[in-house]
Structure 1
């Protein structure tokens, strides 16, 4: 048979099949690429925003004697080359940049301070490129001096600017170090970092800043600073008698990272640590990095994203294939007369099946190629699904087109009885269906009870349960749908109107084959509602997380007290409606070493500031609100500016904008003798740069900026946009499925209506009859799909942890916002009604002779 002629005759159906295949292939090939691009971008952002000391590979070793000392730069360079030679292949593309080396002492006390202050010795291999000398000169070679009858080294060093006032140091000063093995340092220069904000300095923050630490059990903070010395200083620096360590930093270039390589990167990091340890000749070499943890955290977030994407994209592909199969079935129905005639004239079964397959392939193959080609306009790596997706679509469409005619036309002049409404299912089929219906809720219960598997990666159980629940809902709908309709049929049979009885009777006696096309609506609505509910839950939790992070519309925090005149200027800014004063600090609980974080604030004013926000605080007029770690103490004493006795007035799990764990408490600001305000909680609409200008030493944040930061994360935005795209696509496919189901049954419906028209059925009655025949199944399926979509988030429970996309807050508030599901259901019902009216309008133009043949009427 002539395939091109058949395509021209059935051009409309072929065009519909072409468009459906094109859209399905574009979605199934393009969305995974866009998702993988966002995964890569999210990984690079995670590695870039993390401190370099966490992402970079740092090889470190301690020196405990002269035989382990490195006295010249060449010794450092040779080991640097060794580390790069033994670096696993997976890490080499990410560590191509030049690193740096260092030698530092730790806990080197100033003589006579009994550990009250520490000045450590340090050397950086690239100090000349990192700092500018603003006072004095760069350090030179060390000298020697006599001290208590011994000859000790005197190191020329430089210190950072801020160390002079903070540590009480002076240019030209000589300081004795050590309590046993003495050394001296002479401050000959003062430096300033060329780029103090560079990631580089996270490895050497002890050189750039004075570090304050509180010894265990101590009450006073101890200050540490690390100085800089020249290459020549290495000749006198020894690990004998002091804590000396050497470091080689291999910086990580996140721009070369991609999410597909994350498991390999974790394995390569572990392998690098192992092979570095094998190079040990004295003290052990080890690799210090948090790369494995960062990658593990990313994998956890990625696994959740992939799980959600697998669920919604799997549902999208299933529905798209179902709609394409419906279109193929429509084309097959139109070819049925032609294929029957060909079979009766001696055409072989392969010829008949081949003709249907060739015509289908003529429509879907170019569409699949075009959709596949258009997917390359989407930036991203070419994943296996990009190739496999269009191939699956073509294979399913052509395969169904070949198999269906082969089964229908097994014998020439095939016929079937039109008076058989249903066939009794076999015992095996009933057993299988009951098994699916029982196992699906059992699987959902087990998933909630056990959570995700601890092995990492994708949990197959999580992917199977939604499919099983959808299949169970479809089976229940398919089997139980006729029974309530038969009850309605009995009720309508007692009335005098014939249309309700006939319409509901035809709906109740619909064959399983005619019900299955409409059941495509079930996964379409289920997945689209699930996607909408999850997207809404993420959005709601993101807003809550932003308020939890900031605690007010705008928050201004400073390390030191904010002057009263500055506060008044802030109050006078345009847009400022309310300013709540607060003081934060670390306080003593009781008289021991126990410490807690305290906030002194007017809670009543703060509560007014949080009106309408998703977070809040209990009222407090006196006493204290304490964290769970401080509960059960009744009245306790707090040491801050003065000793204050406070009664416990309540327990709070967190303080918005301040604390979520640990020991903390809120007290009225009036308990302070003179509040030293260092935090402002501001309500209103004011420009953040203006606030930053007024309080230059403070950090200014807002709830809106925190929300944007959460929403702009690549992984988060991809999950939400994919959910939106899938929701829209599934809604469109659901509407197309309704239209196709109307068209597929149009011929049989037209015949029935034509018979009834000979008996006096009016046009209005024909429209009502068609609506009553179609609408019940659509409404029932839509309601079941709605229930399935609303129930899936609760059924999956702990299996889908979306906190990574909502500011690290668990997403559990899946509120039943029925607007979108109701809109989808109403839209499907409207399409069904319009289709019924359109069908009867078209049938009205036909004469009865065009539908009924001689012998059709009794």
Structure 2
């Protein structure tokens, strides 16, 4: 009875302790490695997310308004350049730590450049002189020299070769730079000399990203407008221009470096950027957009961490259950030893001390090995205290199992329902009540976005899985008993004996663990599939075809030109008018209705494009209607706008009092045919919109409708060719449209559905999600098989004795295998299917509070049990059944059934 015999007992029962050690090692490894992997993937995703943002969004820019400095001022540029360090020093520490490159610029306003080498055919040229820190180091001279100063009456400047070449000027040319009045007459002039032409060392370097760009000649914004160019000048030359009365401005630009970001800095950086907006120095304007992608990443990261916490909780709970099952199995094998120890006067403390001495020799060492192995995983964030807590709990399990194994007497333990102690009923009822209460509270409260793991949300899935397992354990023997009664009246003993034993099985603990592990795996599969489907729907909502073109007005023949491109199978025009306010009558009297976005689509052609692109889009019947605009057009209206139209008395579905909309000079009557929350071609952020069918205007209409976009369907359509044809169509409209000249149209944008889908799938936390779903599905399936093995081993000795007796009575080997299948199949199917059902229902319960829309671009995630997942669950059930039969067969061979029969009931 002395604890000094612990090493000898550990060696005698080495198999049991090895199993406990492996489970403890895996638990410590998971607790240590999981946070490290999450930290590494989070940091990698954050850096990729920031790097993927446009450079303008990664810049923090302080700037001044244009001003006139006194003529007596000196060292104007140098004095303001010193503020580059001062402004950075004022930034919050978290923001200052992520700043990489920085630039200071002093520049004059745009003034007219004239000279003998600038012929009239080159158009009007306006130039701004800019002094930028570090520019000579970022460029190479290809002609002349760098500006040296502003001595005398001449200001020196240098131009990029791309600008000088287009203007046809070289170093050595002189010009006049003039400030013009409202009538275009010069009121002030200075002499400027082009002393150098440079070429950027790296055209993509951050120093060239300031707008307007120094590397290109900006096109005029309209007829009679000048080209815009920016020239480099020295600080002294800038001072000379500034003190000559030229309007000047200053800017200090700081670029966020993606490689300096770490997940721990994210909350402080977001808070610091908000603080900078409130505490900017007087007289300066702060322009920045990096806080928007950082906030979006923080939201998606909070949802991803919560999702991972739910998965990790399921795996850790499964491992805890396996450790408990292994300890109970080991204690059951040594039940006679513990009973003899008590019979010889051993107290409770003696049993506990004996078991604790054995555990201390094995389990802390196994946990230490798991912690060391987990520490080799790159990353950070793992805390030793959780490993110590898990080690402590695992070490205490075998002594407690030994204490309970030494109590109790004989009798059959395979009779479910033969007796239901009050303690067991109380525990099961409490678990059911707590699980139901937790689910109610989670749905009512929602997701917490404070960056911490929500204990309630993490524990509810585990409680629901345990509760479902307890209900299944109580329910599944009853149909088996009915089946056993029917089998008793049939010929043969295999079906009767198998169903009778299956109906009396009492594998409570293993069944709970199997349900928990399979539920974790099924939860991962359902949520992963829901997110993928949500991303597909988000991409289809943005581009309900293969390619989408957006721009200004296009010539009507652009539709045919796009349809003639290789690979294009269908094209439909789109017309979008933003900020249109409905009228109360045809005369143009405004109603009490706010602005709305108007979308015109050709319903039939749109449906054809969606069908050929394989996008599941339902085109409502009102959009398939035809009309010439003289009768009220049926409209799909958003709820917010529909309420206002109803209040104004303009929502009559019959169109007796329609609303009127002005679309490109045409005034159409509109009736509300249906109210819709969203439409595929309308961004989800737009809450006020009207969707109309494309009216068939007469050929001699005063204002023919010009599309503002197109939707294409086709295979391997070249986006560059689409952009070229769209640009030509836009230019044709500008030349031949009803209104020519004016503002120069923006370049059309071409978006493919595959690109939108790839962007959604390549979001910052996508690697984290893939890791979580992989480890959850694979780990849940593997641990479920281990738990099933425990369920089989829990009743293996009893089955072995029964099979031994039946074999002596003439049971054949084939009947023996059949009996095993009949007895084990209900246990396997009930545990696997119950776990699968729980795993499928958990997303339905938790999706509204998990914030999964952060992974799908705002599209709601619909949790469904897809056919592929059903096939996977059935495959897992088949594998589990084969695994259970294999475990039983191997165990029977090891036990030698003949010896088991001779050794007696409790051997």
TM-score (norm 1): 0.78
Structure 2 CA distance for partners of 1:327 and 1:838, relative to 1, 3 Å: same
Structure 2 CA distance for partners of 1:305 and 1:676, relative to 1, 3 Å: closer
Q: Which residue of 1 aligns with 2:569?
A: 578
The answer to whether the Cα contact below 8 Å between 1:157 and 1:185 also exists between their aligned partners in 2 is no
Q: Which residue of 1 aligns with 2:458?
A: 463
Q: Which residue of 2 aligns with 1:810?
A: 860
Could you tell which deviates more after superposition, 832-841 or 293-302? Answer: 832-841
- For 2:846, which of 796, 806, 812 is the aligned residue? 796
Q: CA deviation at 1:760?
A: 6.8
- For 2:446, which of 432, 447, 451 is the aligned residue? 451
Structure 2 CA distance for partners of 1:693 and 1:5, relative to 1, 3 Å: farther
Structure 2 CA distance for partners of 1:296 and 1:699, relative to 1, 3 Å: closer
Q: Which residue of 1 aligns with 2:269?
A: 265
The answer to whether the Cα contact below 8 Å between 1:562 and 1:678 also exists between their aligned partners in 2 is no
Deviation digits for residues 636-670 of structure 1, max 9, x if unmatched? Answer: 45454x74757678777666577555457576497
Q: CA deviation at 1:20?
A: 4.1
- For 1:204, which of 204, 211, 228 is the aligned residue? 211
- For 2:32, which of 17, 29, 32 is the aligned residue? 29
Is structure 2 residue 635 aligned with structure 1 residue 613? no
Distance 2:391 2:248 in 1: 67
The answer to whether the Cα contact below 8 Å between 1:626 and 1:651 also exists between their aligned partners in 2 is yes
The answer to whether the Cα contact below 8 Å between 2:545 and 2:713 also exists between their aligned partners in 1 is yes
Distance 1:263 1:348 in 2: 56
Deviation digits for residues 745-793 of structure 1, max 9, x if unmatched? Answer: 2223323444566777666665555555544344333333222111111
Q: Secondary structure at the match of 2:765?
A: helix
Q: Which residue of 2 aligns with 1:113?
A: none
Q: Secondary structure at the match of 1:260?
A: helix
Q: CA deviation at 1:584?
A: 5.9
Unaligned runs of at least 5 residues, structure 1: 111-115, 146-153
Is structure 2 residue 331 aligned with structure 1 residue 328? no
Q: CA deviation at 1:723?
A: 0.7
The answer to whether the Cα contact below 8 Å between 1:552 and 1:609 also exists between their aligned partners in 2 is yes
The answer to whether the Cα contact below 8 Å between 2:801 and 2:900 also exists between their aligned partners in 1 is no
Structure 2 CA distance for partners of 1:298 and 1:425, relative to 1, 3 Å: same
Q: Which residue of 2 aligns with 1:776?
A: 826
Q: Which residue of 2 aligns with 1:473?
A: 468
Is structure 2 residue 753 aligned with structure 1 residue 703? yes
Is structure 2 residue 766 aligned with structure 1 residue 716? yes
The answer to whether the Cα contact below 8 Å between 1:136 and 1:171 also exists between their aligned partners in 2 is no
Q: Which residue of 1 aligns with 2:432?
A: 437
- For 1:537, which of 530, 554, 560 is the aligned residue? 530
- For 1:81, which of 63, 71, 85 is the aligned residue? 85
Q: Which residue of 1 aligns with 2:401?
A: 404
Q: Which residue of 2 aligns with 1:99?
A: 102
Q: CA deviation at 1:303?
A: 0.4
Q: Which residue of 2 aligns with 1:787?
A: 837
Structure 2 CA distance for partners of 1:668 and 1:487, relative to 1, 3 Å: same
The answer to whether the Cα contact below 8 Å between 1:122 and 1:226 also exists between their aligned partners in 2 is no
Q: CA deviation at 1:678?
A: 7.0
Structure 2 CA distance for partners of 1:824 and 1:338, relative to 1, 3 Å: same
Distance 2:624 2:205 in 1: 44
Distance 2:161 2:705 in 1: 33
Distance 1:516 1:742 in 2: 12
Structure 2 CA distance for partners of 1:56 and 1:174, relative to 1, 3 Å: closer
Matches within 5 A, 1:672-711: 679=710, 681-685=712-716, 701-711=751-761
Q: Which residue of 1 aligns with 2:876?
A: 824
Distance 2:766 2:414 in 1: 54
Matches within 5 A, 1:391-790: 391-409=388-406, 415-418=409-412, 430=425, 433-453=428-448, 457-482=452-477, 503-504=498-499, 506-511=501-506, 514-555=507-548, 571=564, 573=566, 576=567, 578-580=569-571, 582=573, 603-604=604-605, 607-611=608-612, 612-615=614-617, 617-618=619-620, 620=624, 622=626, 628=638, 634=658, 636=660, 638-640=662-664, 643=666, 645=668, 656=680, 659-662=683-686, 668=694, 679=710, 681-685=712-716, 701-754=751-804, 770-790=820-840
Distance 2:163 2:552 in 1: 18
The answer to whether the Cα contact below 8 Å between 2:513 and 2:787 also exists between their aligned partners in 1 is yes
Matches within 5 A, 1:241-252: 246-252=250-256
Q: Which residue of 2 aligns with 1:38?
A: 41
Q: CA deviation at 1:302?
A: 0.3
Q: Which residue of 1 aligns with 2:630?
A: none
Deviation digits for residues 88-146 of structure 1, max 9, x if unmatched? Answer: 44344322x44112346789999xxxxx999877554445456789999987877999x
Is structure 2 residue 313 aligned with structure 1 residue 314? yes
Q: Secondary structure at the match of 1:713?
A: coil
The answer to whether the Cα contact below 8 Å between 2:68 and 2:247 also exists between their aligned partners in 1 is no
Q: CA deviation at 1:552?
A: 2.4
Q: CA deviation at 1:19?
A: 4.5
Distance 1:609 1:539 in 2: 20
Matches within 5 A, 1:280-359: 283-284=282-283, 287-338=286-337, 340=339, 353=352, 356-357=355-356
- For 2:903, which of 833, 851, 855 is the aligned residue? 851
Q: Secondary structure at the match of 1:726?
A: helix
Deviation digits for residues 201-232 of structure 1, max 9, x if unmatched? Answer: 55534777899999xxxx99999968556323
Aligned length: 821
Q: CA deviation at 1:36?
A: 1.8
Structure 2 CA distance for partners of 1:534 and 1:352, relative to 1, 3 Å: same
Deviation digits for residues 777-835 of structure 1, max 9, x if unmatched? Answer: 44333333222111111111321122232243221253444222333334334434555
Distance 2:256 2:161 in 1: 29
Q: Which residue of 1 aligns with 2:259?
A: 255
Distance 2:901 2:558 in 1: 95
Could you tell which deviates more after superposition, 203-212 or 225-234? Answer: 203-212
Deviation digits for residues 590-623 of structure 1, max 9, x if unmatched? Answer: 8899795766768526624534323454454645
Distance 1:610 1:136 in 2: 62
Distance 2:302 2:357 in 1: 41
Could you tell which deviates more after superposition, 422-431 or 156-165? Answer: 156-165
Deviation digits for residues 331-356 of structure 1, max 9, x if unmatched? Answer: 33334445555666677766654554
The answer to whether the Cα contact below 8 Å between 2:609 and 2:713 also exists between their aligned partners in 1 is no
Distance 2:135 2:442 in 1: 56
Q: Secondary structure at the match of 2:872?
A: helix
Is structure 2 residue 76 aligned with structure 1 residue 72? yes
Q: Secondary structure at the match of 1:251?
A: strand
Q: CA deviation at 1:740?
A: 1.9
Structure 2 CA distance for partners of 1:419 and 1:83, relative to 1, 3 Å: closer
The answer to whether the Cα contact below 8 Å between 1:142 and 1:232 also exists between their aligned partners in 2 is yes
Q: Secondary structure at the match of 2:250?
A: strand
Could you tell which deviates more after superposition, 460-469 or 31-40? Answer: 460-469
Structure 2 CA distance for partners of 1:258 and 1:438, relative to 1, 3 Å: same
Q: CA deviation at 1:294?
A: 3.3
Distance 1:656 1:524 in 2: 39
- CA RMSD across the alignment: 5.3
Q: CA deviation at 1:530?
A: 0.9
Q: CA deviation at 1:255?
A: 0.1
TM-score (norm 2): 0.74
Distance 1:166 1:678 in 2: 33
Structure 2 CA distance for partners of 1:223 and 1:251, relative to 1, 3 Å: same
Distance 2:859 2:723 in 1: 29
Deviation digits for residues 677-727 of structure 1, max 9, x if unmatched? Answer: 975724013566787899998765533343333323341133034212311
Q: CA deviation at 1:257?
A: 0.8
Structure 2 CA distance for partners of 1:228 and 1:556, relative to 1, 3 Å: same
Q: CA deviation at 1:533?
A: 0.2
Distance 2:112 2:659 in 1: 41
